[in-house]
Structure 1
Amino acid sequence: MTTTEQSPTAHDSGTSATQAFRAIRQQSRPGEVSPERISAVVGRVLAGIHDAIREEKVTYDEFQAAKAWLIEVGEGGEWPLFLDVFVEHVVEEVAAENQQGTKGSILGPYYLPDQQRLPSVAALPTRPDEQGTRLVFAGQVRDTDGNPVAGAELDIWHADAEGYYSGFAPHLPDGLLRGVVVADEQGRFEISTVQPAPYQIPTDGPTGKLIESAGWHPWRPAHLHLIVRAPGYRSITTQLYFEGGEWLDSDVAQATKPELVLSPQPLGDGRVRSEYDFVLERTR
């Protein structure tokens, strides 16, 4: 297990996550939200807060402490971290209610767009002395009718064997353990990498203070992040976990699902292999 007490700091991670979010937001160009929709959603959120205050008899001291904490979250750039850990899994559940195909999961705060494109059989960028169990991750991308999706892209990223993400930990080279793998004509892929470690979300900032004060743990189980996409299909954002992994049953982000757990098998040469097929839903 790896702590993040030395590197990266919550502030560093928050700043990087905020910058990445803004870049993705600019690229996606979301549509306008109507005043009626804003009123409905924000009204319900505020009503929930009001109900909690009444039911828990929140005092003025507690209210002022919450206000100070919210200011710290903003100043530390930790909104992406806090929202992705504690809120996004419910948004994803709602989105999945009318979707078919592979189960989704949260994006999380550590995604970086525009990574190196790689062929269908490829190794993610590593350091010469990269630590960790060598992992071969293979499978096929198909549609809901079972047909292969030729040229599907698998945007994959994950932590290293110490639980750190490139782009968010200053001691790691850019692009480490990240890539966009392009499946072959049969939708097949084979990715060589290392098995990631569980990690603790940064705890030296206000999000960490909240977790400690509430008596919660800050750990996430080891996982691979993926966005699987192809023209004419709904993109899938998901995470794949490892059977028997620590924190699998008590993920701080509540993002694990039994359908997303891999069972790595030894290859006899120190490597392990996991296979997983993705199913994409047509949008037209």
Structure 2
Amino acid sequence: MTHQEIDQLVKSWIVDSATRPANPRVQQIVLRLTSDLCKAIEDLDIQPNEFWKGLEYFSAAGAANELGLLAPGLGLERFLDIRADEADAKAGLEGGTPRTIEGPLYVAGAPVSQGFARLDDGTESDQAEVLFMQGTVYGDDGKAIPGAQVEVWHANLLGNYSHFDQTQSPFNLRRTIIADEQGRYQFRTIMPKGYGCPPDGTTQKLLDLLGRHGQRPAHIHFFISAAGYRKLTTQINIDGDEYLWDDFAFASREGLVPPLVRVEDPAAIAAKDLQKPFATIEFDFHLNAETAAAPATEVERTRATA
């Protein structure tokens, strides 16, 4: 069949057969996706066995709750960010901290701290390197934003996230920090490790067939928000990681790899009430003012809650 014939056929299924009021947007999207899929079946000569194996794959991925992992692994979540960047540029927004993907592992309701928080529960202190991260949240006018909200979360030394990993304490390595009067935030935590897709999971199964690894560099996730400003979803990568620029989720971006400084000075160590060297990262966030000229940055999606 020609593409035009396919378009006409699918329209007869999706649109012309409707006998009750339809949601126009849903109808538009389903019509397009179904037409494109039928064209792919025709163009690639996809056989019934292949089609049904594909459906079985998506059923298994959904049952394993891995569709949120598959989306970044195929670049779809990065593509949404590319489109958002283009919309910002069209609206004249510039100078903000680069956005990057949220991923599937945020949990709402993390404990709130003022100005400073310790993220880790201490269970990995003997094996971990202590990390301090601090900075200021600025608006696009260059002024600090007092009371800005900094939500932060990251993986433990095994590359696992609390809540999804039941061996960790609730909200381990997760906090919400309210910036102080100078817009400053700071937290103490452990140096995170990168992680990989579950080796026997559905995402890694597809990546294997595509000849790709499923590894992420060590990173720290953030939501940054303040009244009157566009919410920022981003993450910083830990400099020097093996997968720094080879992230299976395509989330690594220039401007999100801050310098990592390791401190060995005894006086500085004592000032932090530590008995061993530590690492520190200084990183400022820059928010753009809210505007109706660009799409909203608050994404409605189902997220975990503790």
Q: 1:95 aligns with which of 79, 84, 90?
A: 84
Q: 2:61 aligns with which of 69, 73, 88?
A: 73
**Alignment gaps of 5+ in structure 1:** 1-33
* Equivalence for 1:108: 103
Q: 2:281 aligns with which of 274, 277, 281?
A: 274
1:202-217 paired onto structure 2 within 5 Å = 202-217=198-213
Deviation at 1:201, TM superposition (A): 1.6
Using structure 2 for the length normalisation, give the TM-score. 0.77
Q: 1:226 aligns with which of 222, 247, 254?
A: 222
1:213-242 alpha-carbon deviations (Å, 9 max, x no partner): 222101011100000011111110101002
* Equivalence for 1:152: 148
SS in 2 for 1:196: coil
Point out the more displaced range, 232-241 or 37-46. Answer: 37-46
- Measured at CA, do residues 145 and 82 of structure 1 come closer, stay the same or move farther in structure 2, by a change above 3 Å? same
CA distance in 1, matches of 2:31, 2:191: 44
* Equivalence for 1:30: none
- Measured at CA, do residues 281 and 53 of structure 1 come closer, stay the same or move farther in structure 2, by a change above 3 Å? same
Amino acid of the structure 1 residue aligned with 2:258: L
* Equivalence for 1:180: 176
1:29-178 paired onto structure 2 within 5 Å = 35-86=23-74, 87-99=76-88, 100=93, 101-130=96-125, 131-178=127-174
* Equivalence for 2:190: 194
Q: Which has the higher contact order (CA 8 A, sep 6+)?
A: 1
Maintained 8 Å contact 1:223/1:239: yes
Maintained 8 Å contact 2:120/2:190: no
CA distance in 2, matches of 1:213, 1:169: 27
Deviation at 1:194, TM superposition (A): 1.2
CA distance in 2, matches of 1:165, 1:144: 33
Amino acid of the structure 1 residue aligned with 2:117: A
* Equivalence for 2:295: none
Using structure 1 for the length normalisation, give the TM-score. 0.82
1:170-214 alpha-carbon deviations (Å, 9 max, x no partner): 211111010001111111111111111111022322222212222
Amino acid of the structure 2 residue aligned with 1:68: E
SS in 1 for 2:204: helix
- Measured at CA, do residues 115 and 209 of structure 1 come closer, stay the same or move farther in structure 2, by a change above 3 Å? same
CA distance in 1, matches of 2:197, 2:278: 28
Deviation at 1:35, TM superposition (A): 3.3
SS in 2 for 1:257: coil
CA distance in 1, matches of 2:71, 2:196: 16
CA distance in 2, matches of 1:174, 1:257: 30
CA distance in 1, matches of 2:59, 2:117: 44
Please report the RMSD computed on the Cα atoms of aligned residues, expressed in angstroms: 1.9
- Measured at CA, do residues 95 and 41 of structure 1 come closer, stay the same or move farther in structure 2, by a change above 3 Å? farther
Identity %: 31
1:3-62 alpha-carbon deviations (Å, 9 max, x no partner): xxxxxxxxxxxxxxxxxxxxxxxxxxxxxxx93333343334334433433443322221
SS in 1 for 2:117: strand
- Structure with the greater alpha carbon radius of gyration: 2
Maintained 8 Å contact 1:89/1:106: yes
Maintained 8 Å contact 1:84/1:109: no
1:52-87 alpha-carbon deviations (Å, 9 max, x no partner): 334433222211211211221222232222224432
Maintained 8 Å contact 1:196/1:223: yes
**Alignment gaps of 5+ in structure 2:** 1-21, 270-276, 292-306
Q: How many residue pairs get matched? A: 251
